[in-house]
Copies of this chain bind each other. A is one copy, B any other.
């Protein structure tokens, strides 16, 4: 284990312990929420590192599956606890917020900083374009339950069936796309092309993975419990909390990776990582949580969003696709993407 990794382990333990103490002391909600968010982010890094180490023993294909399965583990825990606490609107907003945050804010920051440092950036290879097309198709599929509900079409009373049907279709595409990255098809595998060296012993790897996962499960619970009082104390609406705060907190570290790659002028890889993160939520995490929500008690998740979110999602997918298809970017496009994200956030800030 490298020095940097050891520091993260120590920090994660300290933050998790602090989060636990604040939780059981019933401390100030905003403080508790902040500390649990930091702890969760650090645990997410450990889960990610351990998954990568496990994958490096198993070939690139298996790594893809592992990353798909374990990479979103912390988000999965948060979502499950939040659903059991009846916070389905927050979960839904956080899922869409993660997609919008990746596709607009993180992508924008990556283009802005990468462009400032490296001038015009090129990402004219196939994988980013394939990801952008799949994202568009996923968003198009996600739109129909909301339309069915708000346009009061004859299928409205069967909205649960439609939700389940959409979830199954999305999961089939998710499995197919995971199969692609396992086979290492050059058209989508840029994401897993980075070299991973076995650096941890198997025992260490499994130990870190197990501890970080169990830790993430506990801290997620505290995070969800701290969420509502913290938002109430700050006077923030549930929609904004889910869409912006939970979404950014839940993806903080993995977003930094994409931005770092752009900064190092690996624009192709950066774009793939950032947009793939959105795609995994739309094709994988959201439909799995929707199906799970019928079994775990608490509130049931639905693809029926507010119309404003649907439009935001569609615009984000279209705008991203054009930027990706352009194959070149300048920091100005990054500024415009960040601006669009801020406007969407502002539209949910008031009220």
Contact digits for A129-149, partner B, Cβ 8 Å, 1 yes 0 no: 110111011101101100110
Contact digits for A305-325, partner B, Cβ 8 Å, 1 yes 0 no: 011100100010011011101
Is A342 part of the binding interface, using a Cβ–Cβ cutoff of 8 Å?
Answer: yes
| Contacting residues, chain B, for A129 (C-beta < 8 A) | 326, 328
| Contacting residues, chain B, for A17 (C-beta < 8 A) | none
Using known A-B contacts A161-B350, A351-B153, determine if residue A130 contacts B319 with beta carbons closer than 8 Å: no
Is A294 part of the binding interface, using a Cβ–Cβ cutoff of 8 Å?
Answer: no
| Contacting residues, chain B, for A137 (C-beta < 8 A) | 319, 333, 336-337, 339-340
- Measured CA separation A308–B310 after assembly (Å): 14
Is A346 part of the binding interface, using a Cβ–Cβ cutoff of 8 Å?
Answer: yes
Interface size on A, residues (CB 8 A): 69
Is A31 part of the binding interface, using a Cβ–Cβ cutoff of 8 Å?
Answer: no
Using known A-B contacts A130-B333, A134-B332, A340-B137, determine if residue A155 contacts B351 with beta carbons closer than 8 Å: yes
Question: Is A151 a contact of B307 with CB atoms below 8 Å?
Answer: yes
| Contacting residues, chain B, for A348 (C-beta < 8 A) | 153, 155
Is A296 part of the binding interface, using a Cβ–Cβ cutoff of 8 Å?
Answer: no
Question: Is A322 a contact of B161 with CB atoms below 8 Å?
Answer: no
Within 8 A of B (CB), among A138-197: 138, 140-141, 143-144, 147-148, 151, 153-158, 161-162, 165-166, 169-170, 172-173, 176-177, 180, 185, 187-188
A281 to chain B, nearest CB (A): 16
- Measured CA separation A158–B347 after assembly (Å): 9
Question: Is B173 a contact of A336 with CB atoms below 8 Å?
Answer: yes
| Contacting residues, chain B, for A306 (C-beta < 8 A) | 151, 153
Using known A-B contacts A325-B326, A332-B177, determine if residue A350 contacts B130 with beta carbons closer than 8 Å: no
Can you show 25 pairs from A to B with CB atoms below 8 A apart? A120-B187, A130-B333, A133-B323, A133-B336, A134-B333, A136-B318, A136-B319, A138-B336, A144-B347, A153-B308, A154-B239, A155-B347, A155-B348, A157-B351, A161-B350, A162-B347, A165-B342, A165-B346, A166-B343, A169-B339, A172-B335, A176-B332, A185-B330, A187-B328, A188-B330
